[in-house]
Structure 1
Amino acid sequence: MGFLNQLLKYKNICIQCHNSPDADALAAAYGVYTYLKLHDINVSIIYSGDYEIQKKDLLYMIDICEIPVAYVKELPKTDLLLLVDGQYGRGNVYRFEADNIAMIDHHMPSMKKTENAFIDYSYQSCSTIVWELLKEEGYDVKANEKLSIAFLYGLYTDTSSYVDLYKKHDIAMRDELSKDYPELERLKKSSMSLEDLMIAGEALYHAYFDKEKQYLLISAMHCEQSVLGIIGDMAIKVDVAKVSIAYTDIDSGYQVSIRSADREYLANEVAEKLCDGIGSGGGHIDKAGGVISRDCICESYAGWEIADIIKERMEKIMK
């Protein structure tokens, strides 16, 4: 019995996205919703927190994909609360009290594995996990154009516009679902808001440059992951930079986006070494990405700032 199939014993299910849901959370929730609806389950998609969705690309995504997501202050009556792209008890997920809780997530686990929790951080997007779970149940995602667009855009935004895409499962989903979707192209071209532009400009203005090692370090806190790759692409064009590292905070730690202009320091190797023992990283020789786990650095670098951790590791990487 697959993970999704075991949920069918519940007749009323509420799928909860993390606060201020991004494209990946919405897509993954929509994938599970689609499966449960096929089996006559009374299911809804919700999110909570301080703010309702306002980003134009997400509102357009919700519209064209027909994702029935609702902002709520109270949990509707349900037999099961299913968290998607988040984990119960995390700071970015509004805590609703529920008798039965399940989770599907691709971030570092904050709890022990249970039969009701499918958490695997070897995936770059939660959309990919749900895509695989649907395939396990025999569901043809390719035949569902709206869901395919949602999954692709979820992956696109969680991998810095595919630039930092390197995990085999995620690549497989992109390759299988890729098609000429005008709606997806419009989504890609509207993924950056004016606020994102200001954040990128501010981050680049305050970039740190190590003159000896010749690398740029850019802090872009509270930045959309899709924008992180744009920042990295701009930074590596600086004539004196051999490597650029842009990072932003996420719930489980820090997302990093790495670019290389020097064959002595390949981006994928820099990512692997930078994240070694404190997360995971990889990619291509000129563009790569990774995640640094907050829990891991709390153990190994108690009291350290993330910028100082990266600088300390870069001293060893760029000898």
Structure 2
Amino acid sequence: MPAATGLYTTDNVPVQQLYTEFIRSIELYNRERNSFRDVLCEVTRKRTARVAQRSMAFRPAGSDTAQPDVDRLVYREINLPEPVAYELAEGFTKKAIERGVSSEEMRAQHQEALNADRRLIQQLVLKAMLVSGGFWDGNMSVAPPSYKSNSFQTSHTHYLAQAAAGVPTLAMFAELKQHILEHGYGDPLNGGALVAFINSANAQQIENAAEWQTTSNYVATRVIEQLQSDGLWPASVGGQVMSAVGVPIIVEDWVPENYILMVDYKVRPLRWRLPEGPGVEGLIVDTDDDFRWLIKRYRRWGSVKVVHRGAGACYYINGANYTDPTFEV
């Protein structure tokens, strides 16, 4: 903890008191549960994820004394990328404080550092899904496993595209839904639950489109309450949810414009990998106090990968071919 002895802001708040407040706010911040990571990721320290495949089957019996061969569940091992340390430093020089810095300025700078961490988390998780190579993308060396009577080729892709000038249609949501259901995900009878995300600019196109006028654009409170109970944006989800083909659509501007993301969030289709050392679960902060500087250095560890490749699908609605969105990270 920086000593910062004798330093005061222009509104006469001790700097040491502010730094104590900031450290406490980070402890509270690390307990929040309102990001894509909290909803869609399992946090792990393992280097691989094991995903069960359909592998056991009944076969005709042999003679009266013959015993069936012992069968076993087969897993597909998915390598998880090495955790990456993302860092940010912010602070004030003591000379700047002596010249005149208010407590509001210091609080605003600290809050922006937390906002930057939120942006990092959201973008890492979205990048893992919206950039081709997360879900089945038609270029993988293995085909999706069969489900019921459905079988798939390696060319099977969950990255769809249509030159629709950014206007979502009911058919798009139906296609996304089918791409997930045919792999056994998203079925409420099996504990699944589908949810879709779109940018507010595309939500406006839905409200303006004639084909949507006969539908109920905004879903009932019961659906919103269910999403909130599952940790989906508990503070802001109300009033920003639509519905199509039985799937709630959250209007969320973290999703880039002209993309639709649909996912079975109950299965937690992604893994957020942490290093094996202790104390690296949340946002880490180190503080320095020397002759001239009061600095806080923030660090966030993690890497993200889709492991349930059939549990989600993406639609690019502004071109005939799927184009990966650009993220800052």
TM-score (norm 2): 0.24
Relative contact order (alpha carbons < 8 A, sep ≥ 6): 1 or 2 greater? 2
Larger Rg belongs to: 2
TM-score (norm 1): 0.24
Point out the structure with the larger helix share. 1
